Amino acid sequence: MRLILVGPPGAGKGTQAAKLIERLGVPHLSTGDMLREAVKQGTELGQQAQAHMSAGGLVPDDLVIPIVVQRIKQDDCGTGFILDGFPRTLPQAEALDQALQAAGVELDAVAVITVKDDLIVERITGRRMDPETNTIYHMTFNPPPEEVVPRLLHRQDDTEEACRSRLTKYHGET
Ligand code: ADP
């Protein structure tokens, strides 16, 4: 199954992808996760991506496209993948089309998740991540157990300002 999940930040793409990979047995390819990992590792890509990400902007196409094109060629993507957060721009969609054509495979589905902007802001600003288990919590909607609270991380781009900027990009470009 080759599936793309599209939706604004905080729509629940990551949450649904985690459920779907268990059923489908294909890898979850999140460009946001890949980029955050590159930032954490301090790679050249990470250094170039960091400023765009923390401001809620998009990482330039020429940095993001090669990561995905390389990734979907790996063996574990042979039976499919769930793409989350890619494509986000027209050039990214075109590059994906080309890569799939070159591999002689087709997409099975694109699922679009829609959520109202104000609810997104509420979800994003309350979102926290447990770095030990990668579990995502929301301080009101899905409160974490007390013992994990001290280690929870609040993403740098999960402020209201960066979130509004990501929403503008989403409506304008994605
Ligand atoms: P969200 O969907 O909540 O905005 P992601 O984890 O998908 O979060 O992405 C976080 C950030 O990583 C984005 O705001 C953007 O800066 C960068 N990013 C992720 N995917 C892409 C992409 N396909 N193209 C450009 N930038 C991307």
Tens digits of pLDDT across the chain (174 residues): 999 999 999 999 988 999 999 999 999 999 999 999 999 999 999 999 999 998 888 999 999 999 999 999 999 999 999 999 999 999 999 999 999 999 999 999 999 999 999 999 999 999 999 999 989 899 999 999 999 999 999 988 899 999 999 999 999 999
Cβ of 35 less than 6 Å from ligand 1: yes
- Expressed in angstroms, the distance from the first to the final Cα of the chain is 23
How many angstroms is it from 143 CA to the middle of ligand 1? 24
Tell me, what's the pLDDT at 98?
97
Tokens at 57, concatenated: 């902007």
127 in active site: yes
Largest CA-CA distance found in the chain, in angstroms, rounded: 50
166 in active site: yes
Tell me, what's the pLDDT at 92?
98
Q: Based on C-alpha coordinates, what's the Rg of the chain?
A: 16
13 in active site: yes
Cβ of 158 less than 6 Å from ligand 1: no
d(CA 25, CA 81): 9
d(CA 162, CA 142): 22
Nearest CA to 32 out of 90, 52, 133 is that of 52
Strand pairing report for 127-129 and 136-138: antiparallel
Residues 54/156, Cβ–Cβ less than 8 Å = yes
Tell me, what's the pLDDT at 156?
87
d(CA 14, CA 84): 7
**Length of the chain as a residue count:** 174
Residue with CA nearest ligand 1 atom 6: 32
Pocket test for ligand 1, best of 157, 158, 161 (most atoms within 8 A of CB): 157
The atom number, within ligand 1, closest to the CA of 170 reads 4
Query: How many whole angstroms from its chain centre is CA 3?
Result: 14
Q: Classify burial at 19, counting beta carbons within 10 Å of its beta carbon; exposed 0-12, middle 13-18, buried 19 or more.
A: exposed
Residues 16/5, Cβ–Cβ less than 8 Å = yes
